[in-house]
Structure formats: structure tokens, C-alpha cells
């Protein structure tokens, strides 16, 4: 990275970054603990074939910081952390590697609690849990709460309703065109919610089977991965990897709302201002996609599923609050969300 690592940690208040390596299993992992003011840092483990170590480091730093703000805005007594494992999970993932990663997490003594993310599953967490008690989201048959993706989708659907109310004066999205980028673990259940709400879906994904399923079940229109940005739609919903809104794609957008489940949707901080200047309402990602964290966080905090359902539906209120303040102040929504998150952190520091 061009910026000195310690300067960046200082600038954004990171507490620690841990690099883990295991020669026998081939583990190469990075854990970032951003902030534990509100509680232990909880965040998923992303298993991904990064181009290099710098890309992996940048991703884990950005993601862990977002997790801090996500927990804060959602009102959870948790901090923000994230982990990445470098490599192709279809090739590199082994039992010994996951156990080695579990030992790395255990060595942090509870500062970081792991769960699933892209490239990891409840079954993987069950294996990791054998080496550390600081893991949630294990397979239900092993005592865990399993996949949090459906709750991410539920919260996102509630957030989209809040955006619709801000944009068109009603939470009713029947007949609205939604361009859904990604119909995977979160995108697919979100597509189901949107279809049930009467939305017309335009979808893309790199997985052809997922596209065919969405086309058949939801009568979705399928477009190419690059074409999704320029389709005429009311709502653009990024539900794949981060950086979807960038200097190349922002001018292609033909929507009134950007609201999706992906993390780090904005490639740079100025994108939120540019969206506002274009008259596009943006739901900050760590506000609208908090449902998954609410689910796994509630498992750790020993809440029940009634609490999870209620708290996840409150994402509507969180998004509506951000949009209302942003409209009154004529300010970018991500700046408003950041202020709300940091105010709670300051109150508890």
C-alpha cells in the first residue's frame, strides 16, 4: 500500500491488525480489529483469491471499519472486526487450514469473534469452532444459528421500503423496476422478498444456475454483468462484491435509488456526494445490510429469534432516519450515517 500502514491505522482508529501464517496447511490470513468500544469485534471471515497481499489488507481494513459502524447504528453492543483468508476456497480450503485459522482467532483472546462471509459457510464455522470458542454461525445441527444471509436480505428489503418512501412517498414498490446485481446467498432471498412485494426484477450474476433460477421463479429479466449498471430502473441494488459505485459506473446509473446488500459499495468517499448531486438516494451499506450482523451478533449476545426478527425489521427505521436527516441538511447520506455511528461510540468511550 502507498500509505504507511501505521499512519492509516492511526487515522481511522484501528486497534490491531494480525497476520497469520501456517506452513503445514498453507494458511495466509489477516484479522483486523477496528474498534471494541461497544463490545468485542464481530465480523465474518472472507475466503477470497485476492490479487495480492495489499488488496487483501485494504479489503479487511475497509470491511472491519464498516462493521464498527454497522454495529453502532444497529444499536448492538459489539465492535467491528473482519478477517480474510487469501486463496481460492474451491482449491485451498481444507480442514487443517480452517483449524489453523481457528487457532489464530483463539489467540486473540476474544477481541475478535468470527462468523461466515464470502467463501465460508456454517459448515466451515463448525470446523473453525473446534479450535476456538470465538465463533458463531455454525451449522444448526451443531448448536449454531447457521446462515445469517436471510436476515441480511430481510433487513435490506425493509431498507428498500424506507428508500421508496423517501423517493416516492410510499413504501409500496409494486411495479418498480429493481436492478439486482448478484443473486447469491443474500441477493436471491432479497429477490424473493422484492418479487413478493410486486417489483419487476432485472438481474445479473456470474453464476448461470442462479440466473436461470431467478428467471424461472421470479420472471426476472437477465442481463450481462456490465450491462446491469445502465439499465433503466427505479432501484439499483448492489449485492455482490464491493466497489460497485465507482468513477466508471456512476454515470451509467439510470435509477432514483441505490440500495443493496453488498459491503463497501462506494469505491471512494466522494461517490456519495456525486450520487446526491445526480438526485439519487443512497442507503449507506452498513446501515441497510445490518440484518446478518444482527443475527450472528444476537447468537453471541444470547438473545432469541424474536429479538432478531424485531431488530432486523428496525433497519427500516435506521435507513429512514439517515435519509430524513440527509434531506434536511442537504448532506450525503454516508456522512450522516457516519456521524450517527460515531456519536454512539463517543457516548460509550
Q: Report the distance separating Cα 300 and Cα 297, nearest Å.
A: 5
Enumerate the active-site residues: 82
Q: Which three cell numbers stand for residue 10?
A: 492511526
Q: Report the distance separating Cα 34 and Cα 234, nearest Å.
A: 35
What residue spans of the chain are helical by DSSP H? 5-12, 53-74, 89-92, 95-106, 122-129, 149-168, 187-196, 208-218, 270-277, 285-288, 291-300, 305-313, 315-329, 333-348
SS3 content of the chain, % helix, strand, coil (to 5): 50, 20, 35
Q: Report the distance separating Cα 47 and Cα 57, nearest Å.
A: 13
Q: Exposed, middle or buried, 198 (CB in 10 Å: 0-12/13-18/19+)?
A: exposed
Contact assessment for residue 341 and residue 68, using Cβ atoms and an 8 Å cutoff? yes
Q: Report the distance separating Cα 315 and Cα 291, nearest Å.
A: 8
Half-sphere exposure of 141 (CA within 13 A, CB side): 2
Q: Report the distance separating Cα 192 and Cα 196, nearest Å.
A: 6
Instruction: Give backbone dihedrals phi and psi of 85, rounded to 5 degrees, phi first.
Output: -115, 125
Q: Report the distance separating Cα 198 and Cα 173, nearest Å.
A: 7
Instruction: Give backbone dihedrals phi and psi of 235, rounded to 5 degrees, phi first.
Output: -130, 130
Q: Which three cell numbers stand for residue 72?
A: 453502532
Amino acid at each position: 500500500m502507498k500509505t504507511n500502514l501505521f499512519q492509516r491505522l492511526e487515522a481511522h482508529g484501528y486497534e490491531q491488525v494480525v497476520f497469520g501464517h501456517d506452513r503445514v496447511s498453507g494458511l495466509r490470513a489477516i484479522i483486523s480489529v477496528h474498534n471494541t468500544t461497544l463490545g468485542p469485534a464481530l465480523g465474518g471471515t472472507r475466503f477470497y483469491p485476492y490479487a495480492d497481499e495489499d488488496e487483501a489488507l485494504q479489503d479487511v481494513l475497509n470491511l472491519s471499519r464498516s462493521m464498527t459502524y454497522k454495529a453502532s447504528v444497529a444499536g448492538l453492543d459489539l465492535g467491528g472486526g473482519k478477517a480474510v483468508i487469501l486463496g481460492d476456497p474451491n482449491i485451498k480450503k481444507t480442514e487443517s487450514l480452517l483449524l489453523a485459522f481457528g487457532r489464530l482467532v483463539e489467540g486473540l483472546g476474544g477481541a475478535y469473534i468470527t462468523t461466515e462471509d464470502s467463501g465460508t459457510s456454517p459448515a466451515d464455522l463448525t470446523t473453525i469452532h473446534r479450535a476456538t470458542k470465538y465463533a458463531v454461525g455454525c451449522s444448526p445441527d451443531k448448536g449454531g444459528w447457521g446462515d445469517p444471509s436471510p436476515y441480511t436480505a430481510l433487513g435490506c428489503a425493509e431498507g428498500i421500503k424506507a428508500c421508496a418512501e423517501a423517493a416516492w412517498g410510499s413504501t409500496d414498490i409494486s411495479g418498480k423496476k429493481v436492478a439486482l446485481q448478484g443473486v447469491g446467498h443474500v441477493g436471491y432471498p432479497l429477490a424473493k422478498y422484492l418479487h413478493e412485494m410486486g417489483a419487476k426484477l432485472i438481474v445479473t450474476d456470474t453464476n448461470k444456475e442462479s440466473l436461470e433460477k431467478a428467471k424461472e421463479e421470479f420472471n426476472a429479466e437477465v442481463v450481462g454483468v456490465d450491462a446491469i449498471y445502465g439499465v433503466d430502473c427505479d432501484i439499483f441494488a448492489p449485492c455482490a462484491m464491493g466497489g460497485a459505485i465507482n468513477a466508471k459506473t456512476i454515470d451509467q446509473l439510470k435509477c432514483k435509488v441505490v440500495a443493496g446488500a453488498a459491503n463497501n459499495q462506494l469505491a471512494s468517499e466522494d461517490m456519495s456526494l456525486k450520487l446526491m448531486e445526480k438526485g439519487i438516494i443512497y442507503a449507506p451499506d452498513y446501515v441497510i445490510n445490518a440484518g446478518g450482523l444482527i443475527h450472528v451478533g444476537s447468537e453471541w449476545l444470547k438473545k432469541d429469534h424474536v429479538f432478531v426478527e424485531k431488530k432486523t425489521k428496525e433497519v427500516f427505521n435506521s435507513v429512514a432516519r439517515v435519509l430524513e436527516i440527509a434531506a434536511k441538511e442537504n448532506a450525503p447520506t454516508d456522512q450522516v450515517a457516519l456521524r450517527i455511528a460515531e456519536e454512539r461510540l463517543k457516548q460509550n468511550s
